[in-house]
Every structure is written in C-alpha cells, then in structure tokens.
Structure 1
Amino acid sequence: MIQAALIGAGSRGMFAYASYALNRPDEIQFVAVAEPNEERRALFAKLHNIPPERQFSSWQGLLSQPQLCEALLICTQDSQHYEPTMAALDKGYQILLEKPMSPHPRESLEMAEKAESLGRLLTICHGMRYSTYYSTLKQLMDQQIIGRTMSIQWTENVGFWHQAHSFVRGNWRNSKESSPMILQKSCHDMDMLQWLVGGECVQVSSFGSLTHFTEANAPEGSTVRCTDGCKVEHECLYSALKLYYHDKDEWPAKVVALEPNREARLKALKEGPYGRCVYHCDNDVVDHQVANLLFDNEVTVAFTMTAFTNEINRTFKIMGTTGEIRGNHKRNEIEIHHFSGKRQVITPERVAGGHDGADTLIMRDFIKQVNRRSTGRTSAMVSAKSHLIAFAVEHSRVTGKTVVLEDYINGLKS
C-alpha cells in the first residue's frame, strides 16, 4: 500500500481520483490534504480519517513540511499547477497531476523537463489513454486493421448544457483565469490523436469563436441571475433552476453545493457562479472551434469541438488504405468497415468509475507506477508535446496563421 496526499479537494480531486482509496484501502491511503475551502477540506479529512495536523489551507503549508508520504495528487485549478508541482518535485514526491499541465506553454515544458532530470514520476491525467474504449481503438490501429492510416475526422461534442455548466458559468469559462477551451477541454483529444496517429504533429491551423453565449444574444426579459425573476426562465434551455435545483441530486448539481439539500443549493444559485444567466457571464472561451493537423507520417486530421450538440461524446471516422473505423464513444461501439465489404462491430469491456472507468484505471496505473518506479502509458514529456499542439492550435486561431510546430516550440525556448 502507498500513502498519498491531495492538493486541491475539488470535484476531480475528491470524487474522481481520491475516492479510489475508499474502495481500495489496501492499495492507497490518503494521509494529508491541502484545500483553501474549509468545507471541502473538512469533508475530505472526514472521508479519509486525516488528523487536524495533516490538514492544510494551502499547498504551501503542506509542502513546507518534511515529505509526508510517497505520492501526491495535484488537482488545483489550471493556473495553480506549476508552482506546487515544481516544489513537490524538489521535495521528492511522485505526482499525479490533473490536466492541463499549465495554461502557459513554457511552464508545461519546464515541468516535464524537471521531472525527467530528477527521475520523478509526473503523470498527467490524460484519462482517455486509460479508457478500455480507446485502448481497444489503439490496438486496432497498431494492427493496421484498415491498412495505413491516411486521414481522421474527430469531433468533440461538448453538449449544449455542459458548455453552459463548465465553460460559461463554471471554472473554465475565462481563459485568463483558467485556460483556452482547446487546452482545457481538448488537450485530451490532442493527446489521443498524437497517440493514435503514432507520429509528430508538424503543422496546425484553426478557426473558432465565442458566438452564442454573449450578452448580445440575451432574450428580452432575462436577468443577471436565473433567480432574479427572469421572465423567460421557464422556457430557457439553460435555466439554472432546471439544471441544478429541481429534482437533481447528482453531478452537476452536487458541484453547486456540497450539502445535498435544496436550501443550500438555492443559496448557492443566488450567490455563486452557477446561478448566473448564461448570456450575462464573464466567459470568453470559444463555443465552437475547428483545427487541421498535419503529422510527419502524412496523416491529416480534421478536428471539431462544438457546444451545439445534444450529445456529450466523442465521435470519429478514421480512414485507411483498406477500410475505415467509425466510433461513437457513448454507444461503446467501434465499427470497422473493410473495403472488401466485411463489417465488424467491437464492444470493448467496460470498467466501473467516472469517464467510463478511466478515472479508476488511471489511479490503478499510477499506484503501479509508484510501486515499480516505472512510466505508465505516457510520460510528462509526451504530455507536454500534446499540450504544445493545443497551444499552437490556439495561436493559429488567434493570429489566423498556419503554425509550424518546430518554429513555435523554438520560439518558446528563445
């Protein structure tokens, strides 16, 4: 069994990853926590029987102590990853870091380089690599079941209400406070595409904008908050009362208030960010974006990220010299259409846990890495490279220029 500490007891840290210890206490035990929110810190400490002297209100407090344990999970907000990670690497911790590594490309590189130089684990939570669904897809592509891969159409269907929750009202709404949309939501996809293609991305181009979730599109009669007597709340697709208050007792409603009662939830909607009208927020991240990627093995990728779907799902078509693979993650099906006429449908095994078991599997793999001092399915440097693809895509969107990755990376180092 390994011992671990958690920095950042938010939704991902507390429920997605650390909850693994409650189900597998023989494998991992949490012995310390750092979290500025007193309510969350107390709840986490209670769940994991952490004594008061091991509860800290800041990451600085935890990392000022002699090394408390072997492993450390860092699940703070995006802009709060770099400093605790660099300090924890110096302390000797083996680290599991929530994605993205940092909202700044140079910091992402520096973190990876430091982990490599010190010989420490720095595993980034690219959960899709651990999903049984995408692991199966990777095996099929490595077997060249459709011949040589030539082109890929890949769509991230964010979902209209998920966009409103996370990227209009939520923590990742404003790129200055968190990250650009392509990094926060789609660094998974950039990592996945890099992994599946098996090559280095050499050029990117991108277009996209924030078009719908703006004050200019606010319906007549709308108010700053859904609880302020909005005249169109009953008809609004994005009503906070519908999404978080009425007969909702699980995610995303539990993000609004830790206490599972309507009184606490209504108070949070009246005072906190999730009660705001989606047309009257301080969001600036895009609600739709496309990107073209060229790899050094001549594979081309057309990537689409959009809020304007019913699905919250990834769909794709991978085209090869002898057939194509079509996928719909939500249906857990991988279809192989051979040009000969043969058709196969594969249904990967499912694992219990968030993100179709990926949250469980990444924790399981991290524990093995700590025990064996081995690298898992990805390294910090590989993750940093996929982040740089996302940064380059955003640079292209903002400048309107095609970006050559080598030039972009050299520019960061100069």
Structure 2
Amino acid sequence: MFVSTVQQKAKITLQSSSRHVTPAVNTRGSDLTEIHECLRLHRYMSANFRLESGALVSVLSALWSASRHEEVSHAAVVTVFRCVCVFVCPLSSRDCTDAEGRQRVWTGVWDKQVVGVADPRKFARSKLQQQHRIVDDNVFDDWHSIVEREKFADAVLICTPDRLHKEPAVAFAKKGYHILLEKPMATTAEDCMAIVEACTQSGVILSVGHVLRYDPTIHKIKELIVAGVIGDVVHIQHLEPVGFYHFAHSFVRGNWRNEAESSFVLLAKSCHDIDLIHDWAGARRCVRLSSFGSVSHFRKDNKPTGAADRCLDCSIERDCPYSARKIYLDRVKQGHTGWPVSVICPSSLPDIESVTEALRTGPYGRCVYECDNDVCSNQVVNMEFEGGLTAGLSMVAFTKEICKRKTTIYGSKGELSYDGHEVCVFDFLTQRSTKHTAHENTPWQFGMSGHGGADYHLMDAFISAVANKDPSLIRSGPAETLQSHLLVFEAERSRLEGRVVYCGDAGQS
C-alpha cells in the first residue's frame, strides 16, 4: 500500500438519534499533519455520533489485516493509498481475507483514496481496482513497476511472502517511501539487517507488523511492568496455543508448511511472542538461550491404516479431527465463507462447488499425514537475560484455543497473569488480586476487532508517525524488531545444533 496526500473535498454523514449532520471537510492543500488532525476529529465524532463512515486508519488497517492471510501473502501485494481522511466503513470480521474483503460499506469516501495496486493475481487486483476506482495506469502485476516510477506516495505497505520482503523493502526505502512491512521482517538475519540499514540511511520510517505490540490489553502489561506494579521482573512464562485446525490449515497443508518455501515456524508464527518477551524484559539483553522442538505428529508414519491420500476419498475421515471436509466443506455448507475457507479459493468466492473442487485438486484437500510439511508442531524456547531474568516460550499446535496467548510474569512484588482477555495482578504485600483494563478507543463500530483491536492501533500509530514525522510513535520500529528477530534466529540455531547458544557469539557453547 502507498500513502500520499490528495487535494479533494469530502463529505461525511453522521447520525445521532434522529438527526443527521453533514459537515464538509476541505483538505485542499492539506499535508499529512492536517490529515492526522482529521483523524483526531474523527475520533471525537466517533464518541458522540453513530457514524456511517470510518476513518483512514479503518480502511488501511482493514486492508492490512486482510492482507496478512494466506492467499494474499502468497502474492507480491502492494496497494497504493492517498493519505487523507478517507471515510470508509469496513463492517466485516477478520475472516475476510482478500485485501479489500473487509470493506462492505463505503460512505462519504474521498475521491480515489486508493491510487494503485500491484498484485500478480488478476482476480485480486481487478476486484481491488473496481472497488476503489483505481485508474488503469496504477494497476500492476509486479511491484517492480511501481519502484521504476517517480515517487508518487508517502508510504507503502508491503505484504509479499516471507522470503520476498528484503528486495521490495530495500527498494522502496531507497525511493523514500515510509514502510509498513508484514512480519517477519525477513527470513535471514542478513536480510533483516539490510532492510534496517536501507531504511536508516534513507531516513524513512519503518514499522513491522508486530500487531500484538498494539493490542490495548497486552500493552497494558507493558505499562504495569514499567510502573513497577509487580516489582522487578524475575521470570516470564508465555504460551502460544496455535489451535489444532489452524495449525493443520496453515502449517501442514498451507503456505507455511515447508521451511524452504516460507520460513521456520518460530519465525513465521512465534516471532510475535519472542518480540513480546523481549519487550517485557526491557533494557536487559538476552545473553543465552536454548530451544527444542520437532514435527511430533503430522508425519507419514502416523497415518492411520486405511486412510486415503485425500480427505474426500477417505473412508475414515469422519474419525479424523483434521479432516479437510470438516475444516472447509462443512463450514461453507453452514454459510461460513471467511477464513480459512476463503484461503483455498483465492481466485473466486467460495461456495460448495469451488471448495469441493479445491479439496479434490489442491493442497488443502490432502491428508495431513501425506503432506510435505517439515516445520515444528511444538517448540519451546528458554531464555536468560542480564540480571538473571529468565523466560520460557511454549508454542504448541494441539490446542482448543486458537492463538489465545496466555502469560504469567513473576515479579519481586507480585504476579501478573494474562489469559487472552484480561490482566490480573496479585500483590504480595496486600495479598489481593486486582484486574486491570486497558484504555479502549478502538472504533469497534467499524468492525476493527482484528487482533483485539491491535490492527487498528498499529495502523493508527503508523499514520501518526508518518503524519508527524515522528518514528518514536512506532512500537515495532527497526531497532526493536531487529533485536527480537535476531533472538528468533538464535533460538532456531539452538534447536538445530542441539546446544545452548550464547547470543551474538557463534563460537561459544
């Protein structure tokens, strides 16, 4: 996605009780700072009116959230936006997975808020072009075509596959575009460092899509730690429950099943979690770590006797929790066409016929014991930081919960627990438990619920940083992200080499 200024006139429709207010907003000659003020105005109006239109952050975060799903990430997606107070109301849920899928209602839209897109999939780019009225000259099947043009926007959102992040990120940085880059930053430490160097030398803002940093409740954990509520942090225990069918979908049959085609699972899935632990540790550097994990179940030698190579041909699939019929076909029969169903039909709207055909011929119809997956289905990482702080991360596929993280942080004055919904602190002195809630300003009425509202706040921070030329507003900037990514690479090195790794010293063990 690209963001640039526009000189247009817009109208928004507000409704409070039975009265309608239709103010005109003139942005002629506006710059990004003025645009950010429009967003502030929008937040005020959101609190006092039932809006029939959203804000720029709503449209961008909706597209960003959607672009993170499989069928988009498998393409070299770049969408170009004008950074204005675009009034859009995306009402669908996180299940919509096309880059434009979350936007069902458009009211009071600024003229041509989307000014370009690069996507190799004709279906996707045509749909986006039609929805946003993008001129033909700004529709491309390859991001290189945009880089070759004169700079015509302020920022770009890069949603290419994991292994294809470095080249566009470096190229757009050298062109002077501010960048919001999908996580992981890249699949090697060298590529990550190259991206950071290019952005630093070019003086552009880089934000990496570590959405959990922007989750209001998770951010509350950081605030409580900084405030000293639990004293000195002594130990962090963190669980990422991927979910049994989510793992089968994404990491056994799907795009992240094979390291050679994407990346190892700790990077693809759990770089979020290493990043959080690194953030909670504060200024203390990780000095050594160890990691263990394996492909513990989804292997050919665990295939049940009598099972077929494809679920639709299998006589015993009814007894298999990973049946593609259950995960996809039964869902679409119930009217559910969002994630994960939409992923297996990237070139058309999912229905019974298209889903059935996809399961008969495509990768998502395969038996989970007959796939070419080689990424860990369970992995632990043990970390020691300066000052004696220790931390443990567990990532496991076989869970009821889907990505509902659970954390316990043990401090010298208290214990903090997070169950995926709320934060609770037990104070050792008073021996009382207190629930802490985050200040919530997510515009839920616009359907911005992705990652607990984190999608909205990530985009809001990015727009604010670009508007105010203030990279300090980014919680997942280049330095922090590079450091946490390097820990991920060190952890995987420990797993592969079967030894404790001293961070930053390849020769010590």
Relative to the length of structure 2, the TM-score reads 0.75
- Give the CA deviation at 1:263: 1.4
Post-superposition CA distance 1:329-374 (Å, at most 9, x none): 1xx1111111231111224355332111111111111111111121
Does 2:299 match 1:214? yes
Larger RCO (CA within 8 A; separation ≥ 6): 1
Distance in 1, matches of 2:205 and 2:432, equals 44
TM-score, normalised via structure 1 length: 0.92
Q: Name the aligned partner's letter for residue 250 of structure 1.
A: G
Structure 1 window deviating more from structure 2 (17-26 vs 212-221): it is 17-26
SS at match of 2:392: strand
Find the counterpart in structure 2 of residue 273 from structure 1: 363
Going from structure 1 to structure 2, the CA distance change for 1:152 and 1:273 (only over 3 Å counts) comes to same
Q: Which 5+ residue runs of structure 1 have no aligned equivalent? A: none
Distance 1:315 1:27 in 2: 44
Offset at residue 46 of structure 1 (A): 2.1
2:343 equivalent in structure 1: 255
Give yes or no for contact 2:209–2:476 (8 Å, CA) kept in 1: no
Q: Distance in 1 between the 2:253 and 2:358 partners?
A: 13
Percentage of pairs with the same residue? 37
The RMSD of aligned alpha carbons is 2.5
Alpha-carbon distance in 2 for matches of 1:27, 1:153: 49
**3-state SS of paired residue (1:318):** strand
2-side partners of 1:372 and 1:66: how far apart? Answer: 23
**Aligned partner letter, 1:104:** T
Deviates more, 1:252-261 or 1:317-326: 252-261
Aligned 8 A contact 2:231 2:414 in 1: yes
> Which whole-Å CA distance do the structure 2 matches of 1:91 and 1:25 have between them?
29
Report the CA distance between 1:23 and its aligned residue.
Answer: 8.3
SS of match in other structure, 2:230: coil
Is the aligned partner of 1:320 residue 2:411?
yes
Letter paired with 1:51: V
In structure 2, distance between residues paired with 1:200 and 1:47 = 47
Q: Is it true that 1:128 corresponds to 2:216 in the alignment?
A: no
In structure 2, the residue matched to 1:295 is 385
Tell me how far apart the structure 1 counterparts of residues 131 and 275 of structure 2 sit (CA, whole Å): 33
Q: 1:18, CA displacement in angstroms?
A: 6.5
Structure 2: segments with no counterpart, 5+ residues:
6-59, 80-95, 443-447
* Contact 2:210/2:272 (8 A) holds in 1: yes
Separation in 1, partners of 2:303, 2:386 = 45
Aligned to 1:359: 455
Letter in 1 for 2:243: G
Quick check: which has more Rg, 1 or 2? 2
- Quote the Cα distance in structure 2 between the aligned partners of 1:253 and 1:349: 34
The one-letter amino acid of 1:249's match is T
How far apart are the structure 2 equivalents of 1:267 and 1:43? 22
Match for residue 426 of structure 2 among 333, 337, 348: 337
Distance 1:35 1:2, change over 3 A: closer
1:108 correspondence with 2:192: yes
Deviation sequence 1:63-101 (CA, Å, 0-9, x none): 222223111110011001111111111111111100001
**How far off is 1:30 after superposition?**
2.5
> How does 1:9-408 map onto structure 2 within 5 Å?
10-11=71-72, 29-198=113-282, 199-227=284-312, 229-246=313-330, 247=334, 248-257=336-345, 258-312=348-402, 313-329=404-420, 332-340=421-429, 341-348=431-438, 351=442, 352-375=448-471, 376-408=474-506
After superposition, the Cα gap between the structure-2 partners of 1:326 and 1:50, relative to the gap in structure 1 and judged at 3 Å, is same
Distance in 1 (CA, whole Å) between partners of 2:479 and 2:107 is 31
Deviations 1:229-273 (A, max 9, x none): 111111210111111112232211111224032212222222222
SS state at 1:382 partner:
helix
Comparing 205-214 with 194-203, which one deviates more in the overlay?
194-203
Distance 1:20 1:280, change over 3 A: closer
In the other structure, the counterpart of 1:3 is: 4
Count of matched residue pairs: 407
The 3 A distance-change label for structure 1 pair 374 and 23 is farther
Deviations 1:367-393 (A, max 9, x none): 111111211123112111110100000
C-alpha distance in structure 2 between counterparts of 1:89 and 1:27, whole Å: 27
In 2, are the aligned partners of 1:181 and 1:286 still within 8 Å (CA)? yes
